[in-house]
Structure 1
Amino acid sequence: MANSKFQLGSFENPVKFKEQDYCSLKDASLKSGSLFCDPTFPAEQKSIGMPEDPKPENAVEWLRPKDICDNAVFVEGSIGTTDICQGQLGNCWLLAALSCLTMHPKLFGKVVPSPQSLTQDYGGIFHFRFWQYGEWVEVVVDDRLPVRGGRLLFSYSRSKNEFWSALVEKAYAKLMGFYSSLKGGNISEGMEDFTGGIAYSQPVSAFKPPVLWRQLTASLSRGSLLSCFIQAKTWRDIGTVTSEGLVKGHAYAITDTDKVQSDSTEVLLVRLRNPWGFVEYKGPWSDKCKDWAKVEKSEIERLELKKQEDGEFWIAVEAFSSLFDLVELCSVSPDTLHDSSSSSSSNSASSWSLSSYEGSWVPGCSAGGSRKYRRSFWTNPQYQLSLNTADVEGEEDEDVEDDDDEDEEDKVALSPSAEKQKAKGQKCTVLVELLQKDRRRKGTVKFIYIAFHIYKIPPELQDSVGCLDQKFFTSQKPVGRSGKYQAIRGVYRRVNLEPGNYVIVPSTYRPNKPGDFFLRIYAKTGNTLGHEEFTCSTGFLNLVMSNPPMPEDQIRVDDWFDQEDVSDDRLDAAAFMGLVNSVLEKDYHLPIETCRQLVLGEDTGGRARLDRAQALKLVTSLRKLQSTFIDHDEDSSGTMSPFELAEALKESGLKCDSEVVKVLWERFGSGDIHLPFHGFVSCVTRLRGLNELFESAGPELKQHGMNTWLLSLLAL
């Protein structure tokens, strides 16, 4: 049983994936004498996630390690980078990250708990731990592995009797949904899921070769995971092998750096590993290159140079700089990020605080798109960050990139106050990362384009209640951003900001793209992060329903009552529908159900019939709502989007948060992203009734506020 003193989701007390407890399942297996068979990830084609090959010779069978190899072991000797070879699955990104992990025993032990064995206390069950959006998750698997022609179909070890890497791959595939979910990806995903750290990309061209070598050396010494790749210009180039023996669009693990003397010249070297386990670099300082003849034998032995096709090789840093495009780095501690020295204090990590939040982009409600979509951008989720003077770093600012892919006049720029503060060199360092969640869980990878922007909140708005509105975002420029929108799992940026209050806005490039996300911010202890919500006004419907009647409204209502055969001078829902639709424009006529809702919302003494005064009030209000609806129907479609609904309600006297708008839309929009006029009227009518109930409620119900009241009752 997990120690209760540790929070659920911590490494010491991980979340149990599929609610499977490793210890109890293993005990049951050992007591019964039968090997564990995992019902949640069965040994069937559906777990692979790809159509079955109809050819009999390509049939897949699921075998346990001891059925594949007589002397099967979990680990053969010690863990090493050559334990991992890529099989028939395009997941080099994951295996390269796993290769990097083997260089750090403590980190490796977090993912692959020990002891685990294929001989002692063997029950056919294994467990592994992965970081997932702020929490550690423990995944249990049986050891039945997909085999074709007697060989493992996917990941395998160069030691044919070793199976730990294949089992880690299976556990990760189970976490993602299928083996096919692992096709294609960025190595930073694997790095972060193996460590819980922050990963980021760095262009190789940013540094001269000797400086780059020192950066790589320092990063490795601090325990960072490193990889690199050559960018493929087109999809056709992915997987092609260059004349130097390097693969385009393919992830390589950076496993070491070193230097040797060749005659009188010092050569700076970088060691790389191809997850394929073969296809190696053929240039200078490759395994079988004659350059090694000029190096002392003792140096060659120290470097453990292996002249065999195992996927691992050395390359001079000058060649590395000219042939590779990007380096991926992942560090567990914020103090080791962007730090060219290795002299960080051992207890410096304690000076950082982590704030995190899980949110969603909901089409029509909180998926407002990029800054290009000015009328809806403000509806994206907003998170406040406060930086105080105690957190000032006293360092130069990192310039905000002017690489915006939005309107030309919408370029990112530092505010005048930020420029002034930059000159003083007084800044607070903040690390922000935005991850989109669960985009692999259905067998395919569907990343959407994401980014985040950071805005400084002016002093005059810092005490205002509610989220910042459209006017703010159209008049202000961001002081920081993640860069261009990218279709990758995570975007990251280190920013240096002056003390003050800020708002962070995560967004998708286009509006109405649904998705869940995880936002985390590292800042010096004392900074705070909060999710700012709208506050509802308790008197909003009085503004909506108390418009003074126009003379023409009075005439139309009187004429209707006088000319129609109105019993006891009152209108039922059907008669009221005739009156309303004679006043409203044709495209905005109301159906009988909406009219019934309006009639029942009035105090009719239980008769469900309107007198002249009530009919006049409703006609006047409906004409006002029609004008508001038309004003906010930007494309003149006769319908309204949820973004437009929020603005229309605000103009009508209601300022409600995205959660209220979302519930309203689910109730009256039926999941569509086009709301007709009668749906808008139903929203207002429903809110009117809830407002009256709230006003008449006792203090014990009011203590939770109008917003909570609306959310609880709108769902009824």
Structure 2
Amino acid sequence: MAYNQELLAKTPIIRFKEQNFYSLRDHCLKRGLLFEDETFPAETYSIGLPLLKGRNLSNLTWMRPKDLLKGKSEPHFILEGASRFDIRQGEAGDCWFLAALGSLTQNPQHLQRILADQSFSHQYAGIFRFRFWQCGQWVEVVIDDRLPVLNEEYLFVEPCNKQEFWPCLLEKAYAKFHGSYVNLHYGYLPDALMDLSGGVVTNISPHVSSPDLVMMVKKAAEAGSLMTCGTLAGPMSESTRMANGLVSRHAYTVTGAEQVWYRRSWEYLIRLWNPWGKVEWRGPWSDGSPEWQEIYHQQKSQLYEHKDDGEFWMSCRDFQENFSCLFICNQVPISLDHGNMPHERWSQMTFKNHVIPGNTAEFQRDVQYLFSVPDSMESSNVVVSFNIMPQNLKAKDRMFPLNFEVFKVDSQFQHFRERLPPTFFSKFRMAEKGIVSQTPRNLTECFSLSPGTYVVVVSAGREAAEFSLRIFLKMSDSDRDLGNNLNLRPLKIQATLPEDSSQQSIFYKYSQQGPDIDAAQLQSLLNQEFLKGPPGDTFSLDQCRSIVALMDLKVNGRLDQEEFSRLWIRLAHCQSVFQNTQKNSRVFLSSDLWKAINDTDFLAGVSVSNELLGLMSLRYSDSSGRVTFPSLVCLLMRLEAMTKAFHNLSKDGRGLYLTKMEWMNLVMYN
């Protein structure tokens, strides 16, 4: 992830319609004027007549936020943080954009890049700016803050907090970016996701197993991915509220997923948000439904909120019956075979070009991009992503305007470095096939390619088109510098998770579908599912009893799903520390303990004396001074637990007084 975020940060910013925000603002401030945007004027054609059909236009006005509030309060750009609950859809059918925006609010770092630092107080001149991704670059769009109002009601996005205007202004900037508000009336979720993030979109079937779907959504959310979904079309062409509370042909934000223990089995839930606000699912697991009364109080308090805010839970079964698509947008592709792993790295090649209609053979010679797939056994290892300049598209266009194919280059042509000759393009040559997701503006295709050299060949359809092309190549394990004889399998997101490849699936397998696991089950789990190494380096039963005691908040000798999740995070971090601390000989020595303790995030602020370090070396290393991975895990986790116990029991931070029973309970269990 860091590689691609750094790449995006260095991308130059282009001025839309060549408007310089700072020059325009400074001009207005010097003259005491409020900015009026001549490139997107306060006129009906900036809205579009289809959205005003049957309306009395004599009552249409454009008003600034200060005027809308009529002096009763001051407007704010953002008030108490930006949230999806600040948004409520208006007359335009732009739920596809607002659902993507709702997901973006869960990633403050990326949202800030779109919104920038703006206010109605500091250097206010009626001018605002927003950024969108277009054809491989960030484009800054400048607007004035006049909003269309009809009969004193907002025509489009209405701020849920009457004083907070970032959603209205952002929607206006996006309308200008597309030419008018009417051009936002129906669109494609992948387009909005890419415009707001510059990422790559993966279309995932909602019809995978419920445990896999929940795991995929949870891990994508932790990775900061944007997630949206859409309902099936109803009998009417327009979006219509159905009896179950859902809206047909409508976009929703996916905001979370969880599993709960319900009637002696696991129930898998998805959480969604509706850009309409206040219109929610009415079926099982909805707000106020009886199912919530039959789960553990702790889980209910963490998950359940009875609010009329457009957000709700529903079961995975109901989700799969009512939703036709699920899109996940990330800065790097999500591999459908192994998922998006925290350690997974991709190399990226980016190109910009334009094509015009002409002789196909000519353009097969001229517009081609060669790349190499390294030695890797992984599937879904190449992603090709096209993005078309919107100005090249017409409103009636429903097809992607480019033609492209991917061919493997055989040995007799591999000495060509930039362009293949016409003799390569035999009519008998077969193109590679992948999984395709496309809209009129964006096309992404995921391939599983064997090692070798390949060429992407691009040609125009009926019209000329300017495009950007990104080729993502998954890096092999050796390139990721993850090689180690002792290795924890990382968490993964994928469309169909094998039973042993996800945290929750592993937990369910060894808990035998129960709500918790004991030390013996944990020992089997760690040694069979996680640990690869010499037989002597496995977790012993005594070590697993110690780990359970350290993580057991309920003091019942077992770990529930939440406690196991906390353990999982620490195991993954201990793995990283273990790998990074080892010498070139790949042996972790007791002399490395000081560095390991200092590099452990959950031990931040913990100091260790030389005397204590020596005692820990005696306790956790063997006669040759070697420390195994299980021993390191027990050391680091015990050091954390004992430090916390001291701070919890000490009244002055310097010492503590315990009764005999308190002391015995502490040392004999924890």
Q: Normalized against structure 1, the TM-score is what?
A: 0.60
Q: Over residues 290-335 of structure 1, what are the superposed CA-to-partner deviations in whole Å (9 max), with x where a residue is unaligned?
A: 2222245553432251332x2211111222122222111100124x
1:24 and 2:27 are equivalent in the alignment: no
Could you tell me which of 474, 481, 484 is aligned with 2:427?
474
For 2:182 and 2:285, how far apart are their aligned partners in 1? Answer: 37
Instruction: Please state whether the residue corresponding to 1:212 is helix, strand or coil.
Output: helix
Whether the aligned pair in 2 keeps the contact of 1:84 and 1:157 (CA below 8 Å) is yes
For 1:131 and 1:499, how far apart are their aligned partners in 2? Answer: 32
Could you tell me which of 354, 374, 378 is aligned with 1:359?
354
Unaligned runs of 5+ in 2: 1-5, 477-670
**Aligned twin of 1:208:** 209
For 1:452 and 1:68, how far apart are their aligned partners in 2? Answer: 50
Whether the aligned pair in 2 keeps the contact of 1:200 and 1:329 (CA below 8 Å) is yes
Q: Label 1:215 to 1:340 Cα distance change in 2 as closer, same or farther (>3 A).
A: farther
Q: How does 1:127-526 map to 2 (within 5 A)?
A: 127-205=129-207, 207-232=208-233, 236-262=236-262, 264-303=264-303, 305-308=305-308, 310-334=309-333, 336-338=334-336, 343-345=341-343, 349=345, 352-360=347-355, 362-365=356-359, 368=360, 379=364, 382-387=367-372, 391-395=374-378, 397-398=379-380, 429-438=381-390, 447-448=399-400, 450=402, 452-463=404-415, 467-469=420-422, 472-481=425-434, 483=436, 487-507=439-459, 511-523=461-473
Whether the aligned pair in 1 keeps the contact of 2:353 and 2:468 (CA below 8 Å) is yes
For 2:81 and 2:222, how far apart are their aligned partners in 1? Answer: 21
Instruction: Please state whether the residue corresponding to 2:220 is helix, strand or coil.
Output: helix
1:466, CA displacement in angstroms? 5.5
1:86, CA displacement in angstroms? 1.2
Instruction: Please state whether the residue corresponding to 2:299 is helix, strand or coil.
Output: helix
Q: Normalized against structure 2, the TM-score is what?
A: 0.64
Q: Over residues 465-519 of structure 1, what are the superposed CA-to-partner deviations in whole Å (9 max), with x where a residue is unaligned?
A: 95554882411111234548x55322212223233322212356xx534433322
The residue type paired with residue 219 of structure 2 is A
The residue type paired with residue 155 of structure 2 is L
Q: Over residues 70-95 of structure 1, what are the superposed CA-to-partner deviations in whole Å (9 max), with x where a residue is unaligned?
A: 42221232221111111111111100
The residue type paired with residue 410 of structure 2 is P
**Aligned twin of 1:704:** none
Whether the aligned pair in 1 keeps the contact of 2:350 and 2:471 (CA below 8 Å) is yes
Whether the aligned pair in 2 keeps the contact of 1:232 and 1:248 (CA below 8 Å) is yes
**Aligned twin of 1:657:** none
The residue type paired with residue 353 of structure 1 is Q
Aligned CA-pair RMSD: 3.0
For 1:148 and 1:109, how far apart are their aligned partners in 2? Answer: 31
Whether the aligned pair in 2 keeps the contact of 1:237 and 1:248 (CA below 8 Å) is no
1:192, CA displacement in angstroms? 0.8
Q: Label 1:319 to 1:325 Cα distance change in 2 as closer, same or farther (>3 A).
A: same
1:432, CA displacement in angstroms? 0.5
Deviates more, 1:252-261 or 1:129-138: 252-261
Q: Over residues 584-621 of structure 1, what are the superposed CA-to-partner deviations in whole Å (9 max), with x where a residue is unaligned?
A: xxxxxxxxxxxxxxxxxxxxxxxxxxxxxxxxxxxxxx
Instruction: Please state whether the residue corresponding to 1:474 is helix, strand or coil.
Output: coil
Instruction: Please state whether the residue corresponding to 1:243 is helix, strand or coil.
Output: coil
Q: Give the % identical residues.
A: 33
Whether the aligned pair in 2 keeps the contact of 1:201 and 1:328 (CA below 8 Å) is yes
Q: Over residues 670-690 of structure 1, what are the superposed CA-to-partner deviations in whole Å (9 max), with x where a residue is unaligned?
A: xxxxxxxxxxxxxxxxxxxxx
The residue type paired with residue 521 of structure 1 is I
The residue type paired with residue 96 of structure 2 is W
Q: Label 1:300 to 1:525 Cα distance change in 2 as closer, same or farther (>3 A).
A: closer
For 1:289 and 1:58, how far apart are their aligned partners in 2? Answer: 46
**Aligned twin of 1:552:** none
The residue type paired with residue 95 of structure 2 is C
For 1:239 and 1:26, how far apart are their aligned partners in 2? Answer: 40
Q: How does 1:58-69 map to 2 (within 5 A)?
A: 59-69=59-69
For 1:525 and 1:341, how far apart are their aligned partners in 2? Answer: 14
Instruction: Please state whether the residue corresponding to 2:62 is helix, strand or coil.
Output: strand
The residue type paired with residue 215 of structure 1 is M
For 1:380 and 1:237, how far apart are their aligned partners in 2? Answer: 44
**Aligned twin of 1:88:** 91
Q: How many residue pairs get matched? A: 466
For 2:90 and 2:451, how far apart are their aligned partners in 1? Answer: 51
The residue type paired with residue 172 of structure 1 is Y
**Aligned twin of 1:409:** none
The residue type paired with residue 250 of structure 1 is H
1:61, CA displacement in angstroms? 1.0
The residue type paired with residue 326 of structure 1 is C
For 2:225 and 2:238, how far apart are their aligned partners in 1? Answer: 27
Whether the aligned pair in 2 keeps the contact of 1:437 and 1:515 (CA below 8 Å) is yes
Whether the aligned pair in 2 keeps the contact of 1:456 and 1:503 (CA below 8 Å) is yes
For 2:217 and 2:319, how far apart are their aligned partners in 1? Answer: 12
Unaligned runs of 5+ in 1: 1-6, 369-375, 399-428, 527-716
